[in-house]
Amino acid sequence: MPGIDLIVAVAVGYLIGAIPSGVLIGRLRGVDPRDSGSGRTGTTNALRSLGPRWAAAVALLDVAKGIVAVIAGGAIGPEPWAGALAGVAAVVGHVRSVFIGFGGGRGVATGAGAMLVLAPLAVLASLPEFGLVVWRTRLVSLGSMLAAVTVALVATALYAVGWAGIEAVVAAALIGLVVVLAHADNIQRLMAGTERRIGDG
């Protein structure tokens, strides 16, 4: 049975991740990103509904949520699993936020923030791939899912050579799973050839 500190770390991680950055930033502009585009609260929909500058603010806050969740979880529970699972919980909180009726974003930026603490090299390794896919296809969803899978694979390789803990591998795999599941509607549109591309009107 998990210790109380681990349970508290996960709960705190979830609540940090559940802070709806996109909705809060949108209020500064008098715009709710949930009312347009995909209805999500993350960076991509913020770009469409709020513009580049405000979308950048959303991205930074969402990344920060993942970072803070892992650090807070690690402070609550001394074992490495507390921080790792708090990071996973933050991604779940971002995707299904209790503060906005269990809506949210896709978990990409928050997951990146968590993995920046747990296995920064894995995140850095995924960035060129993400950039190349988005540049060539203008499909942020495809780039995001491929990057999430890459982070998990690279984290596994880092563990194999002793550069990352097993908790980072598990966290990367779980975060990747949450991110892919959060893109279920995107996957359907990708298969149908109707997925919206960056720059489309």
Q: Provide the residue ranges of all domains of the chain, joining segments of one domain with +.
A: 4-192
Asked whether the beta carbons of 107 and 179 are under 8 A apart, the reply is: yes
Average pLDDT of span 154-172: 98
Tokens of 77: 């529970």
Average pLDDT over residues 105-121: 98
- What per-residue confidence (pLDDT) applies to 111? 98
Predicted confidence band of residue 1 (pLDDT cuts 50, 70, 90): very low
Helix 52-76 × helix 80-95 angle, to 10°: 140
For residue 111, the surrounding DSSP H or E stretch is helix 108-118
User: What is the model's pTM?
Assistant: 0.95
Question: What average pLDDT does range 158-179 have in this prediction?
Answer: 98
CB-CB contact of 9 with 80 (8 Å): no
How far does Cα 138 stand from its chain's mean position? Answer: 19
Share of the chain above pLDDT 90, in %: 90
pLDDT of residue 125: 97
Nearest CA-CA partner of 10 in 110, 82, 106, 114: 82
pLDDT tens readout for residues 18-72: 999 999 999 998 999 999 888 999 999 999 899 999 999 999 999 999 999 999 9
Mean pLDDT over 176-188 rounds to 97
CB atoms within 10 A of CB 161: 7
For residue 120, is pLDDT > 50?
yes
Distance CA 149, CA 179 (A): 9
Q: How many CB atoms lie within 10 A of CB 78?
A: 10
* pLDDT at 201 exceeding the cut of 80: no
Average pLDDT (98-106) is: 97
State mean pLDDT over 159-184: 98
